[in-house]
Amino acid sequence: MATRSGIKGFIRNYAWILYLVCVISLLLYIYIDIQNVNKDMLEYHEPDLEFTYEDVTPVAGLSCLECHSDIEGADITIHSDEWWPSHMDYEMYCSDCHPDKMAATFNDDWNVSHIPVDITCADCHAGINYTMAGNDWFSSTHKEAGTTCADCHGGDPNNDVDAMSGNFIGLPEREDILKICGGCHANESAEFKTSIHNGYILNEDGETIVANTCTDCHGIHHIEKHNNPESPVYTLNSPDTCGNCHSSKFYSFQDSYHGAYVVFGGEIVASCPDCHGVHGIKPVSDPDSIVHSSNIADTCSGGSSSKECHGNELDLELVAQGHVHYEGSMGEREEVYYIFGLNLIELIPMIYKLAILGMMGGLIGLMFLENYGWGKIVGRTVNKWKAKKEESETEEGGE
């Protein structure tokens, strides 16, 4: 084909390279975008909550108490070491209660009368400047139901001088939370006691702690009903909530059709509680579990809920033979993936990845070879040389 010069020829010769650069950068962008989304999810599901003391002290790594430990009242409950861990998350500092002290007036007129005494819990714990317990509580379903601070935290709310008197417990111990909630929610706490969540696990430091308790799923002060879309136990939010501990299950759920539909806010779609139940969650090996192979057909067809899922006309017993959360290998029915001793679920993606790299590399390589290959360049030089020779021969012949 004839070669062209000028801008048209330039476009003709180099448009494919421009296109290739565009396509590859687009694919790269999509790849990086997906990696970032995955990274965000990873960060979300493995939160680093270990605040250090220095992170939140207001001035140059010092707290008031580091210098003022000798002042009168510094040893009362509210100033003690227990105060900091529970308040530093909200960036609350000494000056919030003692504004005059921070105005560089370090004189001796500081006394007990300055302590803000005539306060109720919510006066501090609902300050508009803070994302604080009280604020969360004000918009919760507990507020509507009339459950107040003292119901969980103890103490005497009517005592203006010392609300933290009597049976005040402050921050409840993890072990006590089930008992506190169970005071009102007796059925739920009784059901929870039968579940696998009601147990003890080792934490990273090797200490035995309560594995799971009410607040892990339902939140703390901002507790909403389970059918409120803001609630962490709302069906579409449950993968995020459960995934905080069950992160591998979260990822395998996300890879499934159910998982993708949940992200898009599906109206009728199975999320964690739809298959696993709510308070009385039991392991798959337990015959009472609703995901046990003897019960899975009933669960997939909608179970006791009003949802119409997969219907009873299908042979759902067959679902029980497989694992729904598959992560490469399958446990019980692993043998279905093996052909000639090769694990297909690992092998096939590997073959495809190699084919993609090989084919794309080969095809792009051929494009460059066809246009700028040795043959092309040598051929062009030879042709030029031939043409010159012919030209000079004809000129000589002419003379």
Partner 1 sequence: MESEENDQKEYLRWGKNTRIQHIVLLGTFVAQIVTGFPLSFPETWWAKLLVELMGGWWWRTQIHHWSGLLMVLLGVYHVFNLLINHKNIKSLMKHKMMISKRDVRELIQYFKALFGFGEMPSWDRYIWKEKLEYWGVVWGILVMGITGFILWFPFQALEFIPFGWVNLAGVMHFYEAFVATLVVIISHFYNVHFLPDDPMQMTWLTGKMTRKQMKHHHPDELKDIDMFGEDPRR
Q: Point out which residues bind partner 1 (CB under 8 A).
A: 1, 12-13, 15-16, 19-20, 23, 30, 33-34, 37-38, 41, 254, 257, 259-261, 263-264, 266, 310, 314-316, 318-319, 321-323, 326, 330, 333-334, 336-337, 344-345, 348-349, 352-353, 355-356, 359-360, 363-364, 366-367, 369-371, 373-376, 378-379
**Cβ 269 vs Cβ 263: under 8 Å:** no
Q: Which is nearer to partner 1, 34 or 115 (CB)?
A: 34
d(CA 249, CA 269) in angstroms, rounded, equals 17
The minimum distance between CB 243 and partner 1, in angstroms, equals 13
The minimum distance between CB 340 and partner 1, in angstroms, equals 15
Q: Which is nearer to partner 1, 283 or 362 (CB)?
A: 362
Contacts of 228 (CB under 8 A, 6+ apart): 141, 234
Q: Which is nearer to partner 1, 53 or 352 (CB)?
A: 352
**Cβ 192 vs Cβ 218: under 8 Å:** no
Q: What is the residue whose two structure tokens read 């109720």?
A: 120
Residue 5: phi, psi to the nearest 5? Answer: -115, 180
Q: Which is nearer to partner 1, 98 or 325 (CB)?
A: 325
The minimum distance between CB 360 and partner 1, in angstroms, equals 6
Both tokens of residue 324? 């729904």
Q: Which is nearer to partner 1, 264 or 340 (CB)?
A: 264
The minimum distance between CB 258 and partner 1, in angstroms, equals 11
Q: Which is nearer to partner 1, 184 or 387 (CB)?
A: 387
- Measure Cα distances from 373 to 15, 59, 112, 360 in Å: 18, 67, 89, 18
The minimum distance between CB 229 and partner 1, in angstroms, equals 17
The minimum distance between CB 286 and partner 1, in angstroms, equals 21
Both tokens of residue 361? 């590399």
d(CA 21, CA 32) in angstroms, rounded, equals 16
Q: What is the residue whose two structure tokens read 């508009």?
A: 128
First to last CA, the chain: 34
| Closest C-alpha among 248, 216, 212 to residue 233 | 216
- Measure Cα distances from 7 to 11, 19, 115, 368, 372 in Å: 6, 17, 82, 21, 19
The minimum distance between CB 297 and partner 1, in angstroms, equals 11
Q: Which is nearer to partner 1, 166 or 379 (CB)?
A: 379
Residue 215 burial (10 A CB sphere; 0-12, 13-18, 19+) = middle
